[in-house]
Structure 1
Amino acid sequence: MRELLKRCITGIIYVVLVVAAAWLNSDAFDFLFMIFGIACLHEFKKMVHLKGYSIFIGFLLLWWIFIYLLEEKSSGIYKENAVNILMGLTLVTNLILIRNLFSKKQRDGILSKLQKYIISLFYIGAGCIFLTMIPYQNHAFAKMLIIGIFILIWVNDSFAYLTGRAFGKRKLFERVSPKKTIEGFIGGLIFAIIASIILFNYTDEMNLTKWIALAIVIVIFGTLGDLVESKFKRTAGVKDSGAILPGHGGMLDRLDSLIFAAPFAYACIQFLNYVS
């Protein structure tokens, strides 16, 4: 009972922080996720035994370039090319991590320092950057879009858990995450799509097709992101990435789905904007 109370209080504080920052202004939201990104990097580098602090310098440099310099000072083809390069590097890194999910090798032990640095920078660092870039649409900060994305991930997590508890029989990926079930995944997807329809009716950020497509992308890649982090934790022999959030573990445990799904969600929105 006490553990449940801690989880509830921590969850409420986290939700209030995120929504309040997004509602306040873009600077508050950017700053909050810069801090969250640093916390996630700190936890991840401990899991993969990456020594030194140069990864934080790399992350802050990328942050300054893409969130401040390009977003506020640049436009046109230079900005587009820079974002596309970062997108390509991030998606390739994440796709390699997905491929490694299906490998039975404990890969952490054979990763070089350079590989650990690249994974940390693009899987964690760039994931946070793309999450922060998502609300910037047509030179405005679309706060309901980013709040909607958080709602979709929260709905998916909640109903995947509840559906899995009630009906789960077939394991989704037992070797990495024994508690996840196919029924839970389907339940989370269905309710996330329902939530996207509700968001369409109560916001004017995107049309229905875009909201539904975004929900599907977030559920699929958010689930994969959760599995990727679970494999890193299993390899490191730890239950949680950290202990900063009472009842929830570490910051990366809280944000793993969003960070991994963010570049795919950003690419999805840009593609749908381009073809519509």
Structure 2
Amino acid sequence: MNNFSTRIISAIVYAIVFISAIVYSQNTYIVLITFFGAVCLWEFSKIIKIQNAVLPVVSMVGLIVLNYLKILDSDKIIYLLLFCLLHSVYLIIDLYKKNYSERNHLLKSFTTISYLVLPFLFLAFLPFLNGDYQPKIIICVILIIWTNDSFAYIVGKNFGKTKLFERISPKKTIEGFIGGFLFSIFAGFLIGRYSEILTIQNWLIIAIITSVLGTYGDLVESKFKRQANVKDSGTIMPGHGGLLDRLDSLFFLAPFVYLYIHYLM
């Protein structure tokens, strides 16, 4: 079996498992996101060379369980969200620094919690609107991500000339980013037009957040891998690399979409 066939089969299996868990029930979605988060934490610990990834995994699972049982109140959640957003902004700013700074053990643990643990918490509860589980929200966000990634690749491959961030991701181009952005907006419009959950205006804003922050999420993970001099975060998905490679955009943008849906909309 050639690499292309392997990639296709692996992507189909991944999509079926992910979408099935989302649609079946809120419990299967929470369990799957918790499992995905644990795997991503393990992969990330290998990248930045954390000797023991048990504490971050336990922290993430604990936070998700506490929130699921409604033990965490809204005040604590907003503080965690603001902390997570500030660190995400820092990681974006850090992309523009040419020199890589070495992280000690404490800073590595802090980065792991801020970069992965908290974003997966907000990813887990992103589709809960006014206390009700709305699976279409997360499905539509994923569709916008896939639209952005697909058309960024297609437009970039055929028309891309100007590098977007050559130092970190040599294949990404500005033309590809613009193509992905515009088609994401179009996807957001179609979702808003035919979806009964949110308005067209809301989906257009979510599409903008998803396209821009999803691209930054991919770049941030690429920088971590470049610092570690590794190509993929793992081997769990044949032909694609690790689970972290597949979810880097989704969990990075999740806190920003969560902020918009739960506090600004």
Q: Is residue 2:212 matched to residue 1:212?
A: no
TM-score scaled by length of structure 2: 0.96
Letter in 2 for 1:14: Y
Equivalence for 1:83:
77
Give 1:21-100 correspondences, 5 Å limit: 21-52=21-52, 53-66=54-67, 68-70=68-70, 79-100=73-94
Structure 1 position 60, deviation (Å) = 1.8
Post-superposition, which runs of at least 4 consecutive aligned residues in structure 1 deviate over 3 A? none
Q: Is the 8 A contact 2:216 2:249 kept in 1?
A: yes
In structure 1, C-alpha distance between the alignment counterparts of 2:175 and 2:213, rounded to whole Å: 17
Aligned to 1:177: 169
* Equivalent residue runs for 1:238-253 within 5 Å: 238-253=230-245
Where do 1:92-171 residues align within 5 Å?
92-107=86-101, 110-171=102-163
The alpha-carbon deviation at position 113 of structure 1 amounts to 1.2
- Residues 210 and 272, structure 1, Cα contact 8 Å, conserved in 2: no
Q: Distance in 1 between matches of 2:57 and 2:255?
A: 20
| Secondary structure in 2 matching 1:169 | coil
The 2-side partners of 1:59 and 1:21 are apart by 19
State the distance in 2 between where 1:145 and 1:183 align.
28
Superposed displacement of residue 142, structure 1: 0.7
Structure 1 unaligned segments of length 5 or more: list them: none
Which residue number corresponds to residue 17 of structure 1?
17
Secondary structure, in 3 states, of the residue corresponding to 2:170? strand
CA distance in 2, matches of 1:149, 1:16: 16
Cα distance between partner residues in 1 of 2:143 and 2:57: 29
- What amino acid does structure 1 have at the position aligned with 2:76? A
Amino acid paired to 1:208:
I
CA drift of 1:97 comes to 1.0
TM-superposed deviation, 1:128: 1.2
CA drift of 1:117 comes to 0.9
Q: Distance in 1 between matches of 2:108 and 2:83?
A: 14
Question: 2:117 is matched by which residue type in structure 1?
Answer: G
Normalised TM-score (structure 1): 0.93
Is the 8 Å Cα contact of residues 168 and 184 (structure 1) preserved in structure 2?
A: yes
Q: Distance in 2 between matches of 1:89 and 1:113?
A: 20
In the alignment, structure 2 segments of 5+ residues that lack a partner are none
User: Could you tell me which residue of structure 1 aligns to residue 6 of structure 2?
Assistant: 6
Q: Which moved more, 1:122-131 or 1:238-247?
A: 122-131
CA RMSD for the aligned pairs?
1.2
